[in-house]
């Protein structure tokens, strides 16, 4: 029975809520494992979209600092073989994913948000990567994703020079997709739109975009063409306009 993660369906979306508010949703290994278990739940797999949220007060204050003390190399290797892979599993979800962010979104919390496709933040949200100050680095895929999203120079600025960013600053540099007073409500509005689109096309497009960002131009073009070759066979291809033109 999950204690720190709650799953619920909201029409087309599955909402995954962190439930460790007393510790500002710090990401403990128990929370990571419950999150990984939740990712396999049928109500999540069948949803058109997945929204991750910490509720209206805090998204997450990052990795649980109490669990970081005195780890030897062997336990760190086994950590990444186990629940330490949580952000990659979020990134690998086939349907579009959102982070609905209020309050603190720090360290591993921000890395989790970066593993989702869209980040919607409340005006009072606060972002930061305190890892280097703690003698470590963002290592839940966050360093890689920041370089991929913003290039090396901006990634270095965010990780090495920035202390905290407010929501406006995060929006200006593209760290968040948009601001909304109620980020969960806004994410659910997007979910309704996404659920109205041909689902195979949505999922294939997400896969192709993710593969493009990790490959060469030649392989990207090939992937786009293969994706088109597959989707052109579906009844939705061309939509109503193509049907109307064919009937002329």
Give the residue numbers marked as catalytic.
111, 131
Minimum Å gap between C-beta 191 and ligand COA is 29
Residue 26 contacts ligand COA per CB under 6 A: yes
Residue 111 contacts ligand COA per CB under 6 A: no
Burial class (CB in 10 A: 0-12, 13-18, 19+), 158: buried
Minimum Å gap between C-beta 143 and ligand COA is 12
Is the CB of residue 200 less than 8 Å from the CB of residue 229? no
d(CA 23, CA 58) in angstroms, rounded, equals 10
Binds ligand COA (CB under 6 A): choice among 65, 197, 209, 231: 65
Longest dimension (CA), the chain: 73
Minimum Å gap between C-beta 25 and ligand COA is 8
CA distances from 57 to 26, 27, 157, 237 (A): 13, 16, 27, 43
Minimum Å gap between C-beta 20 and ligand COA is 9
Residue 69 contacts ligand COA per CB under 6 A: no
Residue 142 contacts ligand COA per CB under 6 A: no
Element housing 98 (H / E): strand 97-101
Binds ligand COA (CB under 6 A): choice among 4, 24, 167, 180: 24
Number of residues that bind ligand COA (CB under 6 A): 16
Minimum Å gap between C-beta 53 and ligand COA is 17
Encoded tokens for 83: 């629940």
Residue 23 contacts ligand COA per CB under 6 A: yes
Which residues does residue 51 pair with via DSSP β-bridges, in sequence order?
Answer: 15, 98
Residue 125 contacts ligand COA per CB under 6 A: no
Nearer to ligand COA by Cβ, of 5 and 13: the residue is 5
Element housing 97 (H / E): strand 97-101
Binds ligand COA (CB under 6 A): choice among 39, 49, 61, 100: 61
| Binding span for ligand COA by CB under 6 A among 5-13, 130-138, 170-178, 240-248 | 130-138
Is the CB of residue 209 less than 8 Å from the CB of residue 118? no
Residue 130 contacts ligand COA per CB under 6 A: yes
CA distances from 23 to 28, 31, 64, 125 (A): 10, 12, 9, 17
DSSP designation for 22: G
Element housing 6 (H / E): strand 5-10
Interface with ligand COA (CB under 6 A): 23-24, 26, 61-66, 104, 106-108, 130-131, 134
């Amino acid at each position: 029975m999950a204690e720190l993660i709650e799953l619920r369906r909201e029409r087309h979306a599955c909402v995954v809520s962190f439930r460790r508010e007393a510790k500002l949703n710090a990401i403990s290994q128990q929370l990571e494992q419950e999150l990984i278990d939740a990712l396999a739940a049928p109500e999540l797999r069948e949803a058109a979209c997945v929204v991750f949220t910490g509720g209206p007060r805090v998204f997450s204050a990052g990795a649980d600092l109490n669990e970081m003390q005195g780890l030897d190399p062997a336990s760190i290797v086994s950590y990444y073989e186990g629940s330490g892979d949580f952000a990659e599993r979020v990134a690998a979800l086939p349907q579009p994913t959102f982070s609905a962010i209020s309050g603190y979104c720090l360290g591993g919390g921000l890395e989790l948000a970066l593993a989702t496709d869209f980040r919607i933040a409340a005006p009072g949200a606060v972002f930061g990567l305190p890892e280097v100050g703690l003698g470590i680095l963002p290592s839940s895929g966050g360093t890689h994703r920041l370089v991929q999203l913003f290039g090396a120079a901006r990634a270095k600025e965010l990780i090495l020079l920035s202390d905290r960013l407010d929501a406006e600053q995060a929006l200006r540099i593209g760290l968040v997709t948009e601001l909304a007073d109620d980020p969960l409500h806004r994410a659910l509005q997007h979910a309704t739109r996404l659920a109205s689109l041909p689902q195979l096309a949505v999922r294939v497009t997400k896969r192709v975009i993710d593969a493009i960002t990790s490959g060469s131009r030649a392989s990207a073009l090939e992937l786009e063409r293969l994706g088109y070759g597959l989707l052109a066979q579906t009844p939705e291809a061309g939509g109503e306009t193509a049907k109307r033109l064919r009937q002329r």
